[in-house]
Structure 1
Amino acid sequence: MVNLHNLYRGLALEFHPERLKQPNAKEVFTIICEAYDVLGDPFRRAIFDQYGEEGLKAGVPTKDAFIHPYHYHGDPLLTYREFFGTDSPYADLLDYLKNPPAIYETAENKAVKEKKPPIKHPLVLTLHEIYFGGVKKMKIHRLTFVDEKQTRTEITEKILSIPIKPGMRPGTEIVFFEEGDQHPAYEPADVIFITEDKEHETFVREGNDLIMLVDVTLEEALLGTIVTVNTLDHRTIRIPITDVIDNNYEKIVEGEGMPILEKYPEKGDLKIQFKICFPNYLPKASREMLAKGFQLAKLGGGCRQHEMINKLVLADKILRVGPEERFPPI
């Protein structure tokens, strides 16, 4: 994941008009600074992510208030100055003079400490942890200095507290700067945890939605059923299915998915998909009744065959009820 501040630093220095003597350098520099002015502010970035540039610059009506249009102040050097603390196109060199890199000495010479490549670890999270958020503790072992001259190291243990935001997506990188091994000749590496979703027994995560696969019998597929869902927040909900279920049927339950990271506490949807289990055997009477239903449906144009079958099944059930159990005539 690209760090926004590092990206802006590099592009702003590269396209500074006094540093890059090109005809369109100022225009590109202005675009870079305006983009950082938007993306560097969490509120503006949230509006841009949801409504795009048009919504950001035109304003957005909401149920509570009207979000006023965004207008860039038009001074890219102001944005540059607020970030670097100077108008100089050589801010990187000034920073180098103020904060020179660490030096280590050997018996033969002096050298600049190079930083070790980042150390990446997978961070497997359950859907329950992602749903509620919180803090996850991870233990690491690393070499640390044990003397004042910083020449000797020993293995030590450290507990890192990793913040988990509700709705955090897989592939998110959580960086702990310079938490790697300490060494006289190197700067410690960054430790990066990369999130992964742990497999769940019921749900599969797809963006902000949860997918649930349910097995139903042919009878349930034709006549309807009720699906019981045990949610991640420990509720039990019952979803009536009254439509005929086919291989492409999907029941969407709004607001029962995962938290949306940028819009918390809003949630995605629960999408229930179905696998129809056909019977291994059908009695002759059942075959004849189904055959009759399909034949009548074809005679009627071949459309909505399931309605005809439903009526036949219902009529068959009524005929099976004894006379003494039937309702009296109206």
Structure 2
Amino acid sequence: MAVDLYAILEVEASASGSEIKKAYRKLALRYHPDKASEEERHIAETKFKEISHAYEILSDEIKREEYDTYGTTDGNGASHGGQYGYSGNPYEDFYGNGGGQEYGGNDFYNFFNNMNGSNGHGARGKPNKMRTEDAEIEIEVTLEDLFRGKTIRTTSTRNIICTSCKGSGAKKSAVTKKCVTCEGEGTVRKIRRVGPGLVTQEYVQCSSCKGSGKTYRSKDKCKKCDGKRTIEETKILEFEIVKGSKSGETIVLAGESDQYPGKETGDVKLTFRTKEHATFTRKGDDLYSKYKITLVEALCGFSRVVLKHLDGRGIQICTPRGKVIRPGDFIKIKNEGMPIKSSSSGWFGNSPSKRGDLYIEMEIEFPQDNWYLEKNDLTKMKNLLPNELHSKVDIRNQTIDDDSLPEANIELVTDFTIAKKDALPDYKEPETEQEEADHGYDYDGYEAHGAQPECAQQ
């Protein structure tokens, strides 16, 4: 049974490099032989070797990828019997050597090799150029940051190709030889089983020469990178958030991830998301807010600063005299929303004057019960406000003819309460026949479980 290196370090298979390093240090301190007693030293040494071996594999990007894919780290997955980890013909291990079958392993072997233009002579097809892993960063920004625009600066530490050995891992005076594992190609071909009776071949980096195609003596390795072919570099990265950018967008700095010889350099990606704002809600390029006024202000008008904008300006509103504000009304202020981010470039791109609109939802606070001081206040209010409905249609629909309703049939109701809209009962509409069928019920209301037995005729 294969050894689970992740279980040895007590981490998940999705653990990051820093988590693996942290777990290794913790376990190394716990099982270090120098800290164990004489009776437990042998066990500690064994455990310490397992931990060190697991860390050696999982801390190396190439070895870890090889381990995750194939469960092995032997360089090319080969056993001592053949180049591909099986026999000289890897398809024989899955299809046998004939055995009376119409097609055998040699047929599949020759077919796939001829597809690469080798005509059975074993010529190698060049693998696609590999790429280093992209670095991804996620941050939270405020709505003010997206309104004004912002530049994010962060310190980045990455691996770059060693400036001393130019990525070879060896001294300039070192005598190199062609790697016997990959035959100087830097990559090896592996056969991987993808299903019953199905296999595929792919190229992976040779772990013996680390993709260089050459080997050298250990004493000839580069002193600056210690033979790792890369060194660390620290620099400041800048990400510019353009005015009007939306939450969830990603800024990409191409070629700023880790470097490695023979690989295309990955990117650094910054994704930003907006924090919830106390005053504004963004919808597209428009801004929404709420403001509460009294009933007197709704009827008579008002003039005051209602909110502080995202750029620090105060927005003052003065309603016209006689203009009545009703519940649910919005005050729309043009060109006071978010800056509109344009995808075009040039003189007319990202114009700061082009912005969305601002919508302020007006909430009207009615007076509390028994608000009047004297009964005469009610009379004054009735004299000031209209006492009839404005629409003649509403008046006609709500008028009951006194001649058709005898006085004896009129009941005075005084026992009632005021019900709020959010406190009304929740009425569930009956399901239609189609909805019943979608939920697995037949039209008679019984749950359907496929075909039902028919009644036998008597």
Q: So what's the TM-score if we normalise by structure 1?
A: 0.49
Larger Rg: 2
**Greater helix content:** 1
**Greater strand content:** 1
Q: So what's the TM-score if we normalise by structure 2?
A: 0.37
